[in-house]
A = this chain, B = another copy of it.
């Protein structure tokens, strides 16, 4: 992957560059906003908000690294020795996806024991999904298994997680108030729509032979858009749900936080 500085056109370079900067800014300031706004919900919902802010904070760090790595690999002189690091995204997901599962389970309106049982199934599946996906995306043939097969193996836990979350979010709708129900229902759609982008992006990039500039650009932009939606938009929706539930739980809170 060396000497990439001549491989992208100016427009391709700028598109990826600005998308990565947009991703970094979105992650960083969603975190700042969520951390500072944590007192705008009742104490019982603050952990979910703090975890949502931590997800985007971890992602902000990795976007900073990805941005830097992209710059070094593509903007240097010809024959520069820097390679673009595909690993950052996977390290990021390894840390953030379990936390995303925790924040999702927190809004299901189920007891603590049921939450624990659910996470006991989802978190190992998430680790398997990410660890199996990496050799596929990095085009490695590990243990005699080819890259596309790693990708296919990663899809099994991926579909399992998505199925469980969708079913659980759907079941939780009955337990929510009318007002919260509409937002949780949107959260469910956001989950399917954003998680769906990852395998599509993965498969599109998979077909490339050697270095294909267009496939590279699509992969980076696709993953970045999916990340912003799956982490920032998702975390802000969790915050919104927490705020609505707070107002429903306590008339005093509603009175002090809202005008009407």
Contacts and interface: CB of A to CB of B under 8 A. Distances in A.
Contact of A54 (B22, B33, B77): B33
Interface string A18-32: 100110111011001
A17 B260 contact: no
Contacts of A46: 40
B14 A36 contact: no
Interface stretch (A58-66, A161-169, A185-193, A208-216): A58-66
A32 B18 contact: no
A209 B136 CA distance: 36
A43 interface: yes
A43 B256 contact: yes
A8 interface: no
Give the interface residue-count category, chain A: 35 or more
Interface in A74-125: 75-77, 81-83, 85, 87-88, 90-92, 94-95, 109, 111-112
B88 A81 contact: no
A57 interface: yes
Given A33-B54, A61-B29, A257 B14 contact: no
Interface in A34-80: 35-38, 40, 42-44, 46-47, 50-51, 53-54, 57-58, 61-62, 65, 75-77
Contact of A38 (B36, B75, B81): B36
A143 interface: no
B50 A36 contact: yes
Interface in A218-247: none
A174 interface: no
Nearest to A114: B260
Contacts of A259: 44, 109, 111-112
